[in-house]
Amino acid sequence: MKFSHFIRMLPIALAGTLLLSQGHAMVALEEEEMSGVSGTGLAFPLDNFRLQAAPTSFIEQVGGAPAAGISFNRGDLRWFGLTLSNWSASEAAGERTTWAGTCTNGLNNMGCPISTRGIQNYANHDNPFVLRVFEYQRVGLDPAATGINGDWLGAPLDANGVSANGVSQTVLEILGPSNSQDWRWAFWGEIQSSLTDASGNITSVLGTLRNQNLIIGKPATYIRPPSIWGTGALVNGFNNSVDGAVLQMFQYRGDRVLGGGTNPADRTLDETMGLLYHSRLSGDYRLSVNQAAGALDTDPVPQFSNEEGLYFSDVNAYLPLGQLFYQAIVLDSVHPTGGQGDGNFIIELTRIPNDPNVYNDFYSSAGASGYQRTGRNARYYQTHGYVEWGTAFPTCAGANCMSGSGVSSARFSSNLAAPTSVTLPALVVNATNFPGSLCGNNNNQSCSQYAGTAPEVTVPVSVTVASAAGQTTREAIASTGGVAFVSRDPSSTWNVVNNQGLASTGTLGGNFSNFTNLVAADTTVRLARTDSESCGFGCRRLIAQLPPDTATIQTRANAIANSLVTGGTNPTIAVNAINLGTSRVEGLLVNHLKITSLGAGN
Amino acid sequence: MNGLLKCVPAVMVLVICGTVAGFAAAEHPSGMTALEDSDMASVTGREGIALDLELRINADSNGAPLASMGGCAGTGNGCILALQFANRFAGGGEWLVLKDFYGVMRLNDLRLDGSRLPAGPSAFANPKRFEDKDGNCLVAACDPSGSLAAIFTYPDNPGFTADVELALNIGRAAVQFDAEGFLPSADTGTSFVGVRVGDTQTGTARIDINGGLQLYGF
């Protein structure tokens, strides 16, 4: 039996051998079950899977002595307690937890980084991780080429993903699930800054910043930008669907500049291991650093507060790094041409070859005069990535606009200490408490007599800051979509000028200490608490109105409260949550990317 | 193990210098005894397989570096893992050398059993996953529901269970040159990165895994 065939048959053989039928004898595999195995791929479904590293278990990037002549200190980065767990909108509060203790659901359901349940509906049995060897015919270097400047063969991909006259190569690939339920992915981190001796050993720790990271989402997203192409319904003849991440490994053949340099004279034909990764992510992300009151950085496990943080919500991102077979992630080292280097290392997404067959496929704008907003082919959306933070983008009616549904009106949450209700105490109806001409049919005549007691009355009050529209709740800010920042609690604020382009006209605020007395002394309010009746010829008696006219009292209370607000037309606002807006990147191409380490050259 | 691998595969060469030890099935504290016929008769294999694995590289059972390897510290120590990638032969050979390399990995009570996939399609079914490049289904109706599958699980005990334990130290990393550039004698002390996996309380990182990883072919 060939080894490859043995590997392909192994899972079925294992399952058949081990199949446990509780209380029954084992059943032999039927021929038709065996005949269903073609040996093309291995599938890895997850069944109620949950992974949790201990809260004190970490992966660390170990720092070292900073290079001479720079102002940096040693930095050590640690990632603790990596957890993959379930998320569901209908989950019970008791399923939510943290590394150190309890939590509340917080804002945008992101107060708790961990669920006690396994992930439901991720890598299902009929949409699993797939490991397989597959053959693709794509634009590639002429197999006969033995040196630089070889021909790149192949036409842009057709609807079946095949490049006519292209190069066929075998690829080892791992396909992620193309769609799933959202789930939690969380860890807490630590950035430690230290002083060192000449050998890099820590002599004193300057400080530590602890942080909490939570994603509720999935490694899958829409094939095309959803703000333009929708989320499933037919838009301009295209039904936008979701796809997952892909990792491929293949033999890369292309030009290489020796030694990690840039001199074209140093080019040579390269044949090496190439990697390709098409990343797809969607969901919400929260980064927070505030710890619960009394926490110390020396605590083994931190307890973070439930609401503070930077929120990225309704994110959709597709980032293609590499294209079969003309662009790949390759590994290299720094060295002079043909010589020995200083020990540094290179990870490079290779440069796009300067060849029409390559860039006709890569740019996918053939037949058009440069990039166009409309009429792009399907291949364009495979080679071009996009990132969207939020879903609410400006509307645009122009022919060459990116479409949008309009921006959110939720701008900030403020802790303006305004009253939310007012209670007027019971008040004896007499000339002192109800002065003025409140009697008669038109309530403009003096009163002869007074009787009764106006009862206590409570009405709600709403202060709307007209000069700074967009005030809403912290929850609305965190969940509105896009990028938002929320303080640790409502009383923790920072100042922002309402319109950054204009000078501030004062600080948004107001003195509400005498608010109740002002409402009680308002003539309209007094009339709403009393009635006038006749007590004989020329006699007018003021009595308590039962019940009082609360609608009128509320209207006046709102008006009086808002008249007490100060700050002018463009106030500086003490905010405790702010919507930083939405953002999107479309048509994202990475033509060349090279990361070179420097540490070994110190 | 201080021997050198002299093969040159197409994609990557891997060299480990140091010591590798500690592969063990579930240990039994007492001596071995012969199985009775009646015991043998009850062995069917239907209860699956439990596997304990402990892999140590230049480390003792606590994950600490071996004193016999000089504590895997200092320039030129013998604790390395070296990688070479295809067509990277400048300067006689380019080796990505992970230095001060030691660690331990334990899989505690990993269960391998048989299972069947759910009988019907899920809400996220993707039939295209089971097509060949010509669009032909490789399983009936491109739906593997109800098929046999192996399943890997850990015991789902209440609370936190250290199903996987892991400690790893890569103190330094650098590219070294020459045909035998991976040797400790080529270490100049330079490094561009260091990585460590551990636990601030127990030394060895612990991971609790629940649920199952299934495996089937098509």
A18–B112 CB contact, under 8 Å: yes
Measure CB to CB from residue B46 to each of A20, A125, A331 and give the nearest one. Answer: A20
Looking at the domain assignment, is residue B19 inside a domain?
yes
Q: Which residue has the higher pLDDT, B27 or A225?
A: A225
Q: How close, in Å, is residue B68 to chain A by CA atoms?
A: 24
Task: Tell which of A6, A12, A18 to mutate to test the B interface (max B CBs under 10 Å).
Answer: A18
How many Å apart are CA A573 and CA A412, to the nearest integer? 9
B144 or A506, which is more confident?
B144
B22 pLDDT exceeds 70?
Answer: no
List the end-to-end C-alpha distance of chain B, in Å, as a whole number. 39
With respect to residue B2, please indicate whether it lies within any of the assigned structural domains. Answer: no
Check A342 against B44: CB less than 8 A apart: no
Residue B71 lies in a domain: yes
For residue B87, give the nearest of A10, A272, A341 by CB distance: A272
Q: What is the mean pLDDT of residues A278-291?
A: 97
For residue B29, name the pLDDT band (cuts at 50, 70, 90). Answer: very low
Nearest by CB to B210, which of A37, A50, A126? A50
Q: Please judge whether B151 and A47 are an interchain contact, meaning their C-beta atoms are less than 8 angstroms apart.
A: yes
Indicate the SS3 state at residue A545: coil
> Among partner residues B48, B127, B191, which is closest to A64 by beta-carbon distance?
B191
C-alpha–C-alpha distance, residues B90 and A346, integer Å = 14
* Integer Cα distance of B59 and A279 in angstroms: 36
Structural contact between residues A333 and B87, judged by C-beta atoms closer than 8 angstroms: no
CB B129 within 8 A of CB A130: yes
Q: Between β-strands A530-534 and B12-17, what pairing exists: parallel, antiparallel or unpaired? A: unpaired
Task: Find the CB nearest A343 among B47, B87, B176.
Answer: B176
Please tell me which residue of chain A has the smallest CA distance to B111.
Answer: A18
What is the average per-residue pLDDT within A564-572?
88
The yes-or-no verdict on residue B16 having pLDDT over 50 is yes
> Alpha-carbon distance A73 to A343, whole Å?
22
pLDDT band at A417 (very low <50, low <70, confident <90, very high): confident
The pLDDT tens digits of the residues spanning A210-245 come to: 999 999 999 999 999 999 899 988 888 889 999 999
Are A53 and B207 in contact (CB < 8 Å)?
Answer: yes
The predicted-structure confidence for A18-33, as pLDDT tens digits, reads as follows 443 333 334 445 555 5
At position A387, the amino acid (one-letter code) is V
- In chain A, residues with a C-beta closer than 8 Å to the C-beta of B116 are 19
> Using 50, 70 and 90 to split pLDDT, how confident is the model at A7?
very low
> What CA–CA distance (Å, rounded) separates B65 from A214?
34
The answer to whether the CB atoms of A340 and B90 lie below 8 A apart is yes
| Six token digits for residue A63 | 């720092």
B213, closest residue in chain A (CA to CA) = A46
Q: Which residues contact A321 (CB under 8 A, 6 or more apart)?
A: A276, A277, A278, A279, A329, A349, A590, A593
Nearest to A42 among B133, B178, B217 (CB): B217
| Closest to B84 measured CA to CA, from B191, B192, B178, B186 | B178
| CA dist list (Å): A359 to A17, A251, A380, A577 | 52, 20, 11, 45
Residue at B87 is within a domain: yes
Closest approach of A173 to chain B, Cα-based (Å) = 12
How many angstroms separate the CA of residue A175 from the nearest CA in chain B? 9
The number of domains in chain B is 1
Contact (CB<8Å) B88/A46? no
Which residues from A are below 8 Å from B209, CB to CB? 49-52
**In this complex, which of B92, B114, B127 lies closest to A17 when CB atoms are compared?**
B114
Q: What is the pLDDT of residues A75-115, one digit of tens each?
A: 999 999 999 999 999 999 999 999 998 899 999 999 999 99
Predicted local distance difference test score (pLDDT) of residue B44: 59
Identify from B42, B154, B191, B195 which residue to disrupt to test chain A contact, counting A C-beta atoms within 10 A and taking the largest count: B191
Q: Please tell me whether residue A123 adopts helix, strand or coil conformation.
A: coil
Tens digits of per-residue pLDDT, A469-486?
Answer: 788 899 999 999 999 999
Range of the domain at B198: 12-27+47-109+159-208
- DSSP of A292-315, one letter per residue? PTT--TTSSS--B-SS-EEEEEEE
Task: Search chain A and give the residue with CA nearest B170.
Answer: A62
How far from chain centre, in Å, is Cα A293?
26
H or E element at residue A79: strand A74-86
Q: Which of B191, B212, B217 sits opposite A600 (nearest CB)?
A: B191
**Dihedral of CA A568/A573/A578/A583: which sign?**
positive
> Would you call B192 and A343 a contact, using CB atoms and an 8 Å cutoff?
yes
> What pLDDT, in 10s, does the model give residues B140-171?
999 999 999 999 999 988 889 999 999 999 99
- Does a structural domain hold residue B36? no
ipTM of the assembly? 0.84
How confident is the model at residue A425, as a pLDDT?
Answer: 96
For residue B11, what is the nearest residue in chain A, using CA coordinates?
A: A273
Q: Say whether B88 and A339 touch across the interface (CB within 8 A).
A: no
In a domain, B140, yes or no: no
Contact A56 B46 (CB under 8 A): no
Give the closest-approach CA distance of A118 to chain B in angstroms. 7
Burial of A288 (0-12, 13-18, 19+ CB in 10 A): buried
Q: Is the pLDDT of residue A511 over 90?
A: no
B118 with A125: Cβ contact below 8 A:
yes
Question: pLDDT over 70 for what percent of chain A?
Answer: 91
Interchain proximity A41–B217, CB inside 8 Å = yes
Cross-chain Cβ contact B192/A51 below 8 Å: no
> What average pLDDT does this structure show over B6-22?
50
Contact A126 B144 (CB under 8 A): yes
Nearest-CA distance from B84 to chain A in Å? Answer: 10
Mean pLDDT, to the nearest integer, of A316-331? 97
Domain assignment present for B97? yes
Which amino acid, A193? S
Sign of CA dihedral A322, A327, A330, A334: negative
Chain A residues near residue B190 by CB distance under 8 angstroms? 342-343, 599-602
Q: Is residue A129 reached through a cis peptide bond, with omega within 30 degrees of 0 on the bond before it?
A: no
DSSP state, residue A95: G
Q: pLDDT tens for residues A258-280? A: 766 667 777 888 899 999 999 99
User: In terms of DSSP bridges, do strands A140-141 and A96-97 run parallel, antiparallel, or are they unpaired?
Assistant: unpaired
Q: What is the 3-state secondary structure (H, E, C) of B132-167?
A: CCCCCECCHHHCCCCCEEEEEECCCCCCCCCCEEEE
Interchain CB distance below 8 Å, B195 and A272: no
With 0-12 CB in 10 A as exposed, 13-18 as middle and 19+ as buried, what is A334?
buried
CB contact under 8 A, B217 and A36: no
Q: Which of the residues B106, B133, B192 would you substitute to probe the A interface, choosing the one with the greatest number of A C-beta atoms within 10 Å? A: B192
Please state, in angstroms and rounded to a whole number, the distance separating the CA atoms of residues A518 and B40: 94
Among candidates B137, B153, B195, which has minimal Cα distance to B171? Answer: B195
Nearest to B196 among A62, A345, A600 (CB): A62
Q: Using alpha carbons only, what angle is made at residue A287 by residues A219 and A60, rounded to the nearest 5 degrees?
A: 80
A343·B202 Cβ contact <8 A: no
Q: What is the CA radius of gyration of chain A?
A: 34
CB contact under 8 A, A49 and B210: yes
Backbone angles phi, psi at A549, to 5 degrees: -85, 85
| Residue in A19, A118, A273 nearest the CB of B211 | A118
Q: What is the 3-state secondary structure (H, E, C) of A29-52?
A: CCHHHHHCCCCCEEEECEEEEEEE
- Tell whether the model's pLDDT for residue A418 goes beyond 70: yes
Compute the average pLDDT of residues A117-134: 95
Q: For tokens 């790893």, what's the residue?
A: B168
Q: What is the 3-state secondary structure (H, E, C) of A470-515?
A: CECCHHHHHHCCEEEEECCCCCCCEEEECCCCCCCCCECEECCCCH
Would you call the peptide bond into A547 cis, given omega within 30 degrees of 0 as the criterion? yes
Specify the range with the lowest mean pLDDT, choosing from A57-71, A117-131, B104-118.
A57-71
The verdict on a CB contact (< 8 Å) between A127 and B129 is yes
Residues of A within 8 A of B174 (CB-CB) are 343-345, 600
**Cα of A34 to nearest chain B Cα, Å:** 10
Task: Answer yes or no: do A26 and B46 touch at CB < 8 A.
Answer: yes
| Interface test with chain A among B42, B47, B75, B87, by most A beta carbons within 10 Å | B87
Computed from CA positions of residues A28, A31, A32, A33, in that sequence, does the dihedral angle turn out positive or negative?
positive
In a domain, B118, yes or no: no
B211 to chain A: nearest residue by CA?
A49
Collect all residues of chain B within an 8 Å Cβ-Cβ radius of residue A259.
90
